Amino acid sequence: MKKKLKIIGLSLLILLALLIASPFIFQSQIKDMVRRYINDNVNAKVTFDDVNLSFIRSFPQANVTLDNLMITNVAPFENDTLAKAKLVSLDMSVKELFKNADDDPIIINSVNINEALVNLITDTEGNVNWDIAKIKDNLLTENNTTSKGFTFDIEDYTINNSAFNYLDESVNTKFKITNLNHQGNGRFSGELSELDTKTEANVTFSMDDIEYLSNNFVKLDALIDLDIPNNTYTFKENKGFVNDLPLEFKGYVKLIEAGQEIDISFENPGSSFKDFLAVIPKTYAKNLDNVSTTGNFKVNGLIKGEVTETKIPTQDINIVSNNASFKFDHLPKRVENIIINAEVKNETGIADDTYIKLNTLNFKIDQDEFKSSATFKNLTKNILVNANIDGVLNLENLTKAYPVELKNELKGILKAKLNTSFDMNALETNAYERIKNNGTMSVSNFVFSSADIVNPINISNASINFNPGTITLDNFVATTGKTDLNATGTINNLLGFLLSDQKLKGNFKVNSNTFVVSDFMMEGGSNAPVNQSAEPATSLKIPAFLDCTISADAKTVHYDNLILKDVKGNLRIADEKAQLNNVTSSIFDGNLSLEGIVDTKSEKPTFSMNLGAKDFNIAQSFEDLNLLKALAPITKALQGKLNSSINLSGTLGDDFTPLLNTISGDAFAELLTTTFQPKNEQLFSLLESKLNFLDFSKLDLKDLKTKLSFSNGQVTVKPFDIKYKDIVMTVNGSHTFSNTMNYQVVFDVPAKYLGSDVNKLINKINDPAVNNITIPVTATISGNTTQPKVQTDLTSGVKNLTNQLIEIEKQKLINKGKDKLTDVVGDILGGNKPKDSTNTQNNNTVKDVIGGILSGNNKPKDSTKTDSVKPKDQVKDVINGLFGKKKKKE
């Protein structure tokens, strides 16, 4: 007995070992088999990571799995993904693994697919991306049976966590299924088969950009008869759910040569109004277990006819509810007197003849009654709309009667009595002559709050008057925070904005007594540093839906720490940009003018502005306006008035103030009636200590004009002159917005200011021309405005001036000696009249002697005239004396 048990155990062990080892033995053969059948049958690019074989997972059958299967189209849908799946698992008999290419087709018994995505596309020319089967000459045998490839004798199949997309570009139809879980049991081998399926999914369906189903939950339990020879699929004992609305349906779908033939009818099995609430998506319907209803609700329909390129089935779908009501247990309000009468019709089988008719949609909450009706025709092309609204609605009651969670709080009373008739193309092309509106709409005590705004918007009263071709905003009175608004104007395309995602166009006039900019900003935005170096994570945006012109008149505007009075101007808003024109205001005891543009379309908002300042109070404006303070950081020493023009551009921060390190531009400034208070600025005290002849308190800057430019955080001042007494100062240089300075001031200093030693030399020279001598003294300014550094070349300047004065004195003495020589020679040459005849005779003698000297003839004309030698010697003595030669003593 023990021996038999050992033999059995050993046999089982060997069998188990074979089951475990076989997949490794046949792994290569399985991969080759899969690749061979794919290449033989599919006209597409197919890839997979690996193929695995197991005899244990589905014993006694073999299990083959493909990991990360991907099917990619070739032309005309080249590189588009047709299908992919994380895992495809196939169960089959072991013997199927050993068939070769000449054997019968491989029979698959079970299919399991996980996390698959299928994309089916029909382009505008009618090409389909799923037609990937290769056409073979030997595809059919004499017995008209399929040869080579896979066939299915399926006992069960599953599809888990998958998705399906269908796009028909030719008719602009989209069908999308997500979160698909589907399973089926049946046998496909016979001519007549039965398939039992269970399906859950979320479905979205749209046609011509109209969404009829929006991620609605659908559940379907269907028992389907398959008549394969006649291509007929019959639904029996079928029950489905749209959200929680149960629907029973029956009928069939038959494949015909031109398309499909459909004959399906459906209805909800119950008649409670709760069935209607079940149609609403669960995101909004919440829990229907705690709702009580009265009245009935019935939906039924018939879809019958052919689906071809030119025809659709006829449709007759009706939805009816009479005198119904509902109330959620945990909410205080009841909705009652509900009447719904709607139908979807197509009586011809032509798609353009389909229409939706909402005959009645009425309800009442408290004492407020709301009535409406509408028709929608020509659904597949240019939709025609005719609608009537008449009623009162307390917006606050919406959340008190129905458990909908609004992102933003709503309060207010809406009143409307309106008839509108239009076609969608008229809205899209602004063909106002085809838009017929008549009636009025008003809202009072309206409160709107949102996480996107700082303060709730309170509209005390607003009314709109609808006329054919025009919509007027008769009044709009609102407050938010400390801001009040009063507006009137015209709206060009209100319906286009509400119904077709167009921009809101119009012209408005807005008045305000107090307008606080921070009331419209994200909380904390105005506290951001003005000279921040990086763009904040979020910033304000001008709404993309606005395309309007605003004429504004505000008595007081609060912007950051500034208060602007009597602000007037025009604002053009379009394409996420705001163009400011002719904006004027009173500020800093002067007048401000402003033109420019703010662009928030890019990730970082930018601006470009031209500012004009007239009669600005210098001390106040440079203290309160960070931009001016950065351009001229030492202006706190100035008192008086200023005229200026500034052109600048750059990037805005999250509080809509400029990021200083990004701005560039230029400025021109003119100082008026200005006094100087150097005690307010350390720099001027340093200059006075270095140059003791200066007293900045006596400096007159009236009518001073200067220009500067700025870029990359640096301000460059073009050279300009300042006059202090009879000293001319030339200033130029630059500084950064972080107040690091690099300036030079060149003083053209008269000599008389340069000390007692210099003045003694001037007095000794005693020449008026010397008093006009000046020397340049350069003061170099570095450091920053809080810790300035000043260096001068005054010492070397005084030394150079002293040497210059000494040289002048020396030259003066030389010139004086030359003047004495000129006088003596003049006497000799007769420049002076003789006093007597004796002198005349002597002078003549001297002339002769000099003439002889100059002519080179030293001999006397008459040797007897020895008396002439004495005057000659005298002349020599004089000349020698003049040139410094002394007569030698005998």
- pLDDT tens digits along 392-428: 999 889 888 988 777 777 789 999 999 999 888 887 7
- 883: pLDDT confidence band, cut at 50, 70 and 90? very low
Q: Give the pLDDT score at 22.
A: 46
* Cα atoms in the 13 Å half-sphere on the side-chain side of 307: 12
pLDDT for residue 653 is more than 60 = yes
Residue 816 has a pLDDT of: 67
Q: Tell me the three-class secondary structure of 845-872, residue by residue.
A: HHHHHHHHHHHCCCCCCCCCCHHHHHHH
Question: Given phi > 0 = left and psi -120 to 50 = alpha, else beta, which region is 337?
Answer: left
Around 786, how many Cα atoms within 13 Å sit in the side-chain half-sphere?
2
For the ranges 368-377, 516-525, 607-616, 695-704, the lowest mean pLDDT is seen at 516-525
The total number of structural domains in the chain stands at 2
Q: Are 497 and 545 in contact (CB under 8 A)?
A: yes
pLDDT value of position 531: 34
Q: Average pLDDT in the 597-621 region?
A: 86
Please give the Cα distance from 175 to 173 (Å, whole number): 7
The answer as to whether 358 is a domain residue is: no
The pLDDT assigned to 795 comes to 78
Span 618-623, average pLDDT: 77
Residue spans of beta strands (DSSP E) within 313-408: 314-328, 335-346, 355-365, 368-377, 384-394
Q: Which residues contact 280 (CB under 8 A, 6 or more apart)?
A: 243
In a domain? residue 283: no
At 502-515, the pLDDT tens digits run: 788 889 999 999 99
Mean pLDDT across the chain: 77
At residue 163, the pLDDT reads 92
For the CA atoms of 243, 249, 255, 261, what is the dihedral angle to 10 degrees?
-110
Q: Are the CB atoms for 687 and 779 separated by under 8 Å?
A: yes
Chain segment 684-699, per-residue pLDDT in tens = 888 888 888 888 777 7
Domain boundary among 142, 170, 198: 170
Report, as an integer, the average pLDDT of 673-682. 68
Residue 148 backbone dihedrals phi, psi, to 5 degrees = 60, 135
Instruction: Answer yes or no: is 543 within a domain.
Output: no
> Does 135 reside within a domain?
yes
Q: 245-256 and 409-423 as β-strands: parallel, antiparallel, unpaired?
A: unpaired
Which pLDDT value is given to residue 15?
43
Strand partners, 559: 562
671 against 31, higher pLDDT: 671
Q: Per-residue confidence at 14, pLDDT binned at 50, 70, 90?
A: very low
The values of phi and psi at residue 104, to 5°, are -65, 165
Confidence at residue 1, expressed as pLDDT on a 0 to 100 scale: 56
Q: For strands 409-423 and 727-736, give the pairing.
A: unpaired
Give the least confident one: 66-70, 237-241, 276-280, 539-543: 539-543
Least confident of 9-18, 565-574, 641-650, 816-825: 9-18
Over 90: is that where the pLDDT of 390 sits?
yes
In a domain, 146, yes or no: yes
pLDDT score for 185: 81
E-strand stretches of 756-803: 774-783, 788-792
Residues 6+ positions from 783 with CB-CB distance below 8 Å: 740, 741, 789
The top-scoring range by mean pLDDT among 52-61, 371-380, 719-728, 755-764 is 371-380
Percent of the chain with pLDDT over 90: 20
Angle at which helices 794-828 and 837-855 pack, to 10 degrees? 110
Q: Would you place residue 850 in the very low, low, confident or very high pLDDT band (cuts 50, 70, 90)?
A: very low
Categorize the per-residue pLDDT at 532 as very low, low, confident or very high, splitting at 50, 70 and 90: very low
**CA–CA separation, 448 vs 427, rounded Å?**
27
- pLDDT of amino acid 637: 64
pLDDT at 245: 80
Q: How many residues does the chain have?
A: 890
CA-based Rg of the chain, rounded to a whole angstrom?
52
Contact (CB, 8 A) for 585 and 566: yes
Would you say residue 810 has pLDDT above 50?
Answer: yes
- Over residues 199-224, the mean pLDDT reads 81
Whether the predicted pLDDT of 314 surpasses 90? yes
**How much is the pLDDT for 138?**
46
**DSSP 8-class letter at 537:** S
Distance of CA 759 to the CA centre of its chain: 69
Residue 20 pLDDT: 45
The pLDDT value recorded for residue 311 is 86
Selected residue with higher pLDDT from 506 and 494: 506
User: How confident is the model over 163-188, as a mean pLDDT?
Assistant: 84
Which helix H or strand E contains 143, and what residues bound it?
A: none
User: Whole domain around residue 145: which residue ranges?
Assistant: 27-170
- How far apart CA 620 and CA 557 sit, in angstroms, is 17
For 86-90, 93-97, 433-437, 827-831, which range has the lowest pLDDT when averaged over its residues? 827-831
151 within some domain: yes
Position 259 confidence tier, pLDDT thresholds 50, 70, 90: confident
| Higher pLDDT pick, 710 / 137 | 710
pLDDT of residue 315: 93
Please state, in angstroms and rounded to a whole number, the distance separating the CA atoms of residues 608 and 669. Answer: 19
Residue with the bigger pLDDT between 823 and 130: it is 130
Q: Could you give the 3-state DSSP secondary structure of residue 753?
A: helix
Percentage of the chain beyond pLDDT 70 is 74
Most trustworthy range by pLDDT among 103-112, 340-349, 446-455, 467-476:
340-349
| Predicted confidence (pLDDT) at residue 636 exceeds the cutoff of 70 | no
CA distance 833 to 671: 69
What is the token pair recorded at 362? 């009425």
Q: Determine phi and psi for 801, rounding to 5 degrees.
A: -65, -40
Rounded Cα distance between 198 and 160, Å, is 12
Choosing from 170, 191, 212, the residue where a domain stops is 170
Question: Where do runs of H (alpha helix) occur along 114-168?
Answer: none
CA–CA distances in Å: residue 882 to residues 65, 820, 852, 885? 131, 9, 20, 8
pLDDT at residue 19 tops 50? no
Q: Is residue 147 part of a domain?
A: yes
Which of 122, 152, 170 is the C-terminal boundary of a domain?
A: 170
Distance of alpha carbon 700 from alpha carbon 639, whole angstroms:
11
* Opening angle at CA 66, ends 60 and 69, nearest 5: 155
Average pLDDT of 694-710?
81
What is the helix (H) or strand (E) element at residue 602, kind and residue range?
none
- Residue 145: inside a domain: yes
Please indicate, yes or no, whether the overall pTM of this predicted structure exceeds 0.75.
no
Rounded (10°) angle between helices 756-765 and 794-828: 10
Q: Which of 348-352, 702-706, 780-784, 795-799 has the lowest mean pLDDT?
A: 795-799
Which of 700, 698, 696 minimizes the C-alpha distance to 682? 696
Q: 375 forms bridges with which residues in the sheet?
A: 357, 386
Take residue 255 and report the two structure tokens written for it.
């494949």
Q: Rounded mean pLDDT of 91-98?
A: 69
Provide the pLDDT for residue 669: 84
Calpha distance 312→260 (Å, rounded)? 10
Q: Is the pLDDT of residue 523 over 60?
A: no
**pLDDT at residue 309, as a whole number:** 78
d(CA 429, CA 117): 38
pLDDT (0 to 100) of residue 370: 93
